[in-house]
Amino acid sequence: MSAAAGEGAIQVPVIAIDGPGGVGKGTLSRHLAGHLGFHLLDSGALYRLVALGAKEQSVALDDEQGLADLGRQLDVEFRLGADDEIARPVLRGRLVGEELRSERCGDDASRIAGYPRVREALLARQRAFRRPPGLVADGRDMGSVVFPDAALKIFLTASVEERAQRRYKQLIGKGIGVNLAPLLGEISARDKRDRERSVAPMKPASDAVVIDTTTLGIDGVFEQVMKIASERGISGP
């Protein structure tokens, strides 16, 4: 690492929040970023955006090079919503919300995320989110690959049954009719794919703090992470 990169790393702390889908990474990351006044990277959204862009531009989901080119050139920006601090992705000038969060899009994202060239194409884009005063980065490989020098690495876990329940309640709350059993099957399949891929598999970095959220509410997790962050001297501006 060059001296300049080293200095930057010290000046701009990263908190990496990794773990499987439905574990509460997104909620925790938003709370942390809001509390600390840090920037936020939802790296899963980038994989989802490539999957969505591929559909729109007729790039096949098994065309690794085509997908990688799309990832590198992806015309996307994240705009802050008027009502809150959540940055919303704007793909080729069009705000994309619900379609990005669908199970289908998540599954497509998980499939294309197995391609090394797609991951490589998104690397610089993800690292560009690191800007003062700090960054909370949410994903699968934030601590292990994208920000190996993160000041704090958290890996959240929860039983697959609990995560399926959470997702089920979320979908029902939105008025979307689903059955629990197939949802549980889909979540397990996606976990397995994300965990077993050969490049940047989902796993805790060797220096990550692993927190089981199965019986812990978001407030409990948030307090625990803030305590560790303050012990490490990570604070807002």
Nearer to ligand DC, 200 or 231 (CB): 200
Angle subtended at Cα 140 by Cα 214 and Cα 93, rounded to the nearest 5 degrees = 115
State the minimum distance, in angstroms, from the CB of residue 141 to ligand DC. Answer: 5
Amino acid at 145: V
Site for ligand DC, rule CB under 6 A: 21, 43-44, 47-48, 106, 109-110, 113, 139-141, 190, 194
Task: Please say whether the beta carbons of 178 and 165 come within 8 A.
Answer: no
Q: Where are the alpha helices (DSSP H) in the chain?
A: 3-11, 25-36, 43-56, 64-73, 98-101, 103-112, 116-127, 160-173, 180-196, 218-231
* Residue 10: Cβ-neighbour burial (10 angstroms; 0-12, 13-18, 19+): exposed
Nearest distance in Å: CB 128, ligand DC: 15
Q: How far is the CB of 17 from ligand DC (least distance, A)?
A: 10
Q: Which residues pair with 210 in a beta bridge?
A: 155
Taking the least distance from each CB to ligand DC, the nearer of 27 and 230 is 27
What's the alpha-carbon Rg for the chain, to the nearest Å? 17
Backbone angles phi and psi of 197, in degrees to 5:
-65, 155
Task: State the nearest-atom distance from the C-beta of 216 to ligand DC, in Å.
Answer: 20
Taking the least distance from each CB to ligand DC, the nearer of 82 and 128 is 128
Contacts of 60 (CB under 8 A, 6+ apart): 54, 66
CB 16 within 8 A of CB 137: yes
13/89 with CB nearer ligand DC: 89
Q: Which residue is nearest to ligand DC (CB)?
A: 44
Q: Is 60 helix (H, G, I), strand (E, B) or coil?
A: coil
Q: How far is the CB of 28 from ligand DC (least distance, A)?
A: 12
Minimum CB–partner distance for residue 231 and ligand DC (Å):
26
Nearer Cβ to ligand DC, position 48 or 130? 48
Least Å distance between CB 147 and ligand DC?
A: 11
Nearer to ligand DC, 131 or 192 (CB): 192
The smaller minimum CB distance to ligand DC, of residues 134 and 186, is found at 186
